[in-house]
Structure 1
Amino acid sequence: MRSLVAATLAVCIPFAAGADTVGITPDIMSVTVETGSGPVEIMRNQDTGNRLEGDWTLTSRDCPNFCIQPMIPAEGVTPVGELEVLAALQDPGFVLIDGRVRPDHEAGTIPGAISVPYTEAADRLGELGCEVDFDGWICEGDLPTVVLFCNGPWCGQSPTAARRMIEAGFPAENIQYYRGGMQNWRMLGLTVVPGT
């Protein structure tokens, strides 16, 4: 019996040592989302020695323009974190919007995010179910919930997009704000893909 236990442990120990250990939560190792390029598995980088490099490691930038953003960029907008973003990616009633300028989006984004630069947000409400009116937009009925993000807690692009969308007629209660943005997403080692 001892030899059977020893043989079982010898087989299990190397497997356990090589198993993925960096989960999203204790019960979730990865989330697969549909993107325009096909399914993408979002998970955390399994290299426990992984470190951020480049601009994502910068902690101090001139204010303005890189001032710390409030958790709620406009009245009625709901702040969310990474787990809520992952849930939104799996819910057809949500749209994840990368509010950064196109070159930043193309350099790397959250899988499943669509590019709507903050400068275009108020002009593209038709893509979210709003109808053009002489005075702007009519945003009524079954509208999606939009999750906006940009570069991180110091980036004002998605807060600006949220305010412009609300001013143009999109309901604030249909907007969520992922303030952590790409900086927090990368800091947690979550999957990043080139934007399209």
Structure 2
Amino acid sequence: MPNVPGVFNRPPSALCHTEFAEVQKVFRLVAVILLLVAGPALAQDKPVNIRPDLAEVTVPTPDGPARIARIQDNANELSGEWARTSRACPPFCVQPMSPAEGVTTIGELELLEMLQDPEVVVMDSRTPEWFANGSIPGAVNVPYTQVIDYLGELGCEPDFDGWDCAAPKRVALFCNGNWCGQSPTAIRNMIEAGYPADHISYYRGGMQAWRLLGLTVTHD
């Protein structure tokens, strides 16, 4: 077989220092290219669970069971309306941790449990146009301006002094976020009308926190 001249036709001991350095450069370049190509794919392959042991939940809705999970794109970011940080105050002022004494403030995990409980009513207190642009699956739209009219659906009965709420349902209310006063206003109005505060939960993070976690939103 004829001997073809070149670096790879000579034993390693015959490689000069310059030639060996060139080979190392080639291997380094190939390694960098492979990392650049595979890096994003590897990052996006990482699962995005709700909890380490919980990838999704199923909740009842008027249209049938709905799946709630998180967006699996590791590079996903908020944009547009939900990325804003500096809405004018008033009216979009920071809300207290609890809107009224006796009300329980909850987070996403507690809300997910309540959404799966058929005995609990989760209420989106925002106006209809907000609700139509995306809400939490399983929530019913009861605008904060109409919440008193809805008390009959929550176990209360009208009486001469207002409402008799002797057998109230457990409820959870939310709106756009911790800068939104719609659900706090609804909660205070409910309590003033006679609804027991200890049957009310407040998801303070609202839609902005829900979207920040990449959780499922209706109409998205």
Q: 1:183 to 1:17 in 2, by over 3 A?
A: closer
Q: Which residue of 1 aligns with 2:219?
A: 194
Work out the number of aligned pairs and report it.
179
- Which has the larger Rg? 2
Which residue, 70, 87, 98 being the options, matches 1:72?
98
Give the conservation status (yes or no) of the 8 Å contact 2:175–2:183: yes
TM-score for the superposition, normalised by structure 1 = 0.88
Higher helix share: 2
Q: Which residue of 2 aligns with 1:155?
A: 180
Give the conservation status (yes or no) of the 8 Å contact 2:44–2:74: no
> Which secondary structure state, in structure 1, belongs to the residue aligned with residue 216 of structure 2?
coil
Which residue, 68, 84, 90 being the options, matches 2:110?
84
Q: How far 1:101 sits from its partner (Å)?
A: 0.3
Q: Which runs of 5+ in 1 are unaligned?
A: 1-15
* Distance in structure 1 (CA, Å) of the matches to 2:45 and 2:115: 26
AA matched with 2:152: G
Q: How far 1:136 sits from its partner (Å)?
A: 1.1
Give the conservation status (yes or no) of the 8 Å contact 2:44–2:75: no
* Distance in structure 2 (CA, Å) of the matches to 1:194 and 1:163: 30
Q: How far 1:20 sits from its partner (Å)?
A: 6.5
Which residue, 154, 170, 173 being the options, matches 1:128?
154
Give the conservation status (yes or no) of the 8 Å contact 1:78–1:173: yes
> Which secondary structure state, in structure 1, belongs to the residue aligned with residue 171 of structure 2?
strand
TM-score for the superposition, normalised by structure 2 = 0.78
> Which secondary structure state, in structure 2, belongs to the residue aligned with residue 120 of structure 1?
helix
Q: 1:53 to 1:123 in 2, by over 3 A?
A: same
Q: 1:20 to 1:87 in 2, by over 3 A?
A: farther
- Residues 1:51 and 2:77 are matched in the alignment: yes
Q: Which residue of 2 aligns with 1:180?
A: 205
* Distance in structure 1 (CA, Å) of the matches to 2:63 and 2:204: 26
AA matched with 1:135: D
Q: Which residue of 2 aligns with 1:95?
A: 121
Q: How far 1:116 sits from its partner (Å)?
A: 0.3
Give the conservation status (yes or no) of the 8 Å contact 2:43–2:74: no
* Distance in structure 2 (CA, Å) of the matches to 1:18 and 1:153: 30
Q: How far 1:194 sits from its partner (Å)?
A: 3.2
Any idea what the Cα deviations from partners look like across 1:9-59, whole Å, max 9, x if unmatched?
Answer: xxxxxxx98866000000000001110111111000000111111110011
* Distance in structure 2 (CA, Å) of the matches to 1:38 and 1:104: 22
* Distance in structure 1 (CA, Å) of the matches to 2:106 and 2:195: 19
Which residue, 108, 131, 141 being the options, matches 1:115?
141
* Distance in structure 2 (CA, Å) of the matches to 1:170 and 1:43: 33
% identical equivalent positions = 60
Q: Which residue of 2 aligns with 1:8?
A: none
Give the conservation status (yes or no) of the 8 Å contact 1:105–1:194: no
Q: How far 1:63 sits from its partner (Å)?
A: 0.9
AA matched with 2:95: Q
* Distance in structure 2 (CA, Å) of the matches to 1:150 and 1:169: 22
Let me know the Cα RMSD of the aligned residues: 1.6
* Distance in structure 1 (CA, Å) of the matches to 2:121 and 2:199: 10
Give the conservation status (yes or no) of the 8 Å contact 2:120–2:170: yes
AA matched with 2:170: T
